[in-house]
Amino acid sequence: MIQEEKDRLGRLDKLRAAHIDPYPTSAKRTHTTAQVLEQFDKLETQKTSVQLVGRVRLLRRHGGLTFGQLQDQSGMIQIAMRKDVVGEEVYAFFHETIDVGDFLEVSGSVFLTKKGEKTLEVNAYRLISKAVLPLPEKWHGLSDVEARYRQRELDLLVNPEVRQRFIVRSKLISSLRSFLDKMDFLEVETPILQPIPGGANARPFVTHHNALDANLFLRIAPELYLKRLIIGGFEKVYEIGRLFRNEGIDQSHNPEFTTIELYWAFVEKEEFIQALEDIMRHIVEQATGKLQLSHEGTVIDFGSSYPRVTFREAIQRACGIDIDAYRNKADLQQAVSKAKLNIDFSRCVGIGEFYDELFKKTARPLIEQPTWVLDYPIELKPLARQNSTDATKSASIQLVIKGQEIINAYYHELNDPVEQRRRLEQQQSLREQGSDEAQFMDEEFLDALAHGMPPTSGMGIGIDRLVAFITDAPNLKEIILFPTLRPNRED
């Protein structure tokens, strides 16, 4: 136990000896700190008594005058306590028992200091929660990063810029939900524990259900269940929720993350894409208050129209390789070698994974402003319909910004049950060849699809990645309240 903790516990004993409950069950306030600051002139003129609650963030004693700072969720305000106002005994007891970090209920009237600081003069106070550990100083540098993530509550307290990121996140999700609700989309919930993890190319987490004596998987995507709802008669559905993928942890990946997926029946391609642009502009502006944002020193304009380029064209522009000329892995690798590109294909199995790695290493990093990349190779999109003019391409589109995939969408979902079975059989074959990310065969979904699914478009957005992007956060852990970390084991 550190000395500071011992001292605070001693002050806690002193409070109890004085028959003061250091943890009362309620507190009362008339204003938030932000309201006091906004209404300051009126409150000062009318000499209105206000009552605030919050955490003490600073205490400075100057003889018979003490200044402090009181913080609630809305902001921070200076408080002042005078011995000749509250009385010598109260003033002394305050300093004998109150610490920075404690929560107080304070009442009094506002005034402006000689230095122009808006201040509340305290004429009465009540302790509403005693802190027995001190707050940390503002944390600086990489050496404190892991501690910040492990003790996010302290990180939020001492780093206002971190707290602001999570406010932006909350506003973005709220505005997204509101926008879709106004478009008559129905918010739904689908299983997190699934017998077959489908809807994406990813390695799942597996767990065992004792009562059923069966292995279940944490979902990697809600796609197949949402499509079953379209089959069941809903025409516009969406789900915001957590996904889980048993993969690496790095600056842009966390094993659990938040996404939105939506499915929309009977919508035309151009109407669908325009709606996606409208959604993006709306949620960015509602969350941040603007449409031009700085990301890693580049101003990103979400307000302008988003240009389009095909997957094939993007790669050709980046490195000169025409993927249509190379339909097998050996020929593609030879072309990459001839172009003197250093790309590691060792973890790729199917030709689609080779195309994808080539795109990620050459074309994607060159895209800065919001750009639609269309018509990914069909091998990469086993759940998307074929492009109507080129069977080797899928009816897919992704919004790429500053080298990051922000929206993944199919403007035509695959609704042919025979073709879907063939595609999933191909995926199963890739799994047998060693692919960790190929999709599983899902007979229940295929059976549902065989009952008929109308023309449908679908979209997914990684909420974490988007929030990290628009807040210019250096990695995903900065915008996930409690990211996955290596267990903190003592030696």
Q: Note the pLDDT tens digit of each residue in 219-271.
A: 999 999 999 999 999 999 999 999 999 988 888 889 999 999 999 999 999 99
Backbone angles phi, psi at 71, to 5 degrees: -125, 130
Contact 121, 80 (CB under 8 A): yes
Residue by residue, DSSP assigns 38-71 as HTHHHHHHTT--EEEEEEEEEEEEETTEEEEEEE
How far apart CA 256 and CA 242 sit, in angstroms, is 6
Backbone angles phi, psi at 409, to 5 degrees: -140, 155
pLDDT value of residue 491: 43
Domains of the chain: 3-129 (2.40.50.140), 153-307+369-479 (3.30.930.10)
* 261 SS3 class: strand
Backbone angles phi, psi at 8, to 5 degrees: -70, -35
Question: What distances in angstroms separate CA 143 from CA 75, 139, 164, 484, one per listed residue?
Answer: 28, 9, 22, 18
* 44 burial level (CB within 10 Å; 0-12, 13-18, 19+): middle
Q: Which two tokens stand for residue 276?
A: 């996606």
Structure letter (DSSP) for residue 201: S
Q: Name residue 214's amino acid.
A: A
* 487 SS3 class: coil
pLDDT value of residue 1: 67
Tell me the H-state helices in 341-416. Answer: 351-362
Question: What distances in angstroms separate CA 46 from CA 40, 116, 119, 159, one per listed residue?
Answer: 10, 19, 15, 35
How far apart CA 70 and CA 487 sit, in angstroms, is 35
Residue that is written with structure tokens 């250091």 in the block: 22
Residues of the chain with pLDDT below 50 are 491
Q: Which two tokens stand for residue 167?
A: 């406010």
Report CA Rg, the chain. 29
pLDDT value of residue 193: 97
Question: What distances in angstroms separate CA 214 from CA 164, 217, 436, 444, one per listed residue?
Answer: 43, 10, 21, 17
Q: The pTM is what? A: 0.91
pLDDT value of residue 141: 59
Q: What is the dihedral of CA 44, 50, 56, 57, to 10 degrees?
A: -30
For residues 188-216, one letter each, b for 16 or more C-beta atoms within 10 angstroms of the residue's C-beta and e for the rest, the string is: eebeeebebbbbbbbebbeeeeeeeeeeb
How far apart CA 359 and CA 195 sit, in angstroms, is 33
pLDDT value of residue 139: 65
Cα-Cα-Cα-Cα dihedral sign, residues 320, 323, 324, 328: positive
Nearest by Cα to 258 from 170, 370, 156, 379:
170
H or E element: which one contains 310? Answer: strand 308-310
Contact 441, 428 (CB under 8 A): yes
Contact 475, 258 (CB under 8 A): no
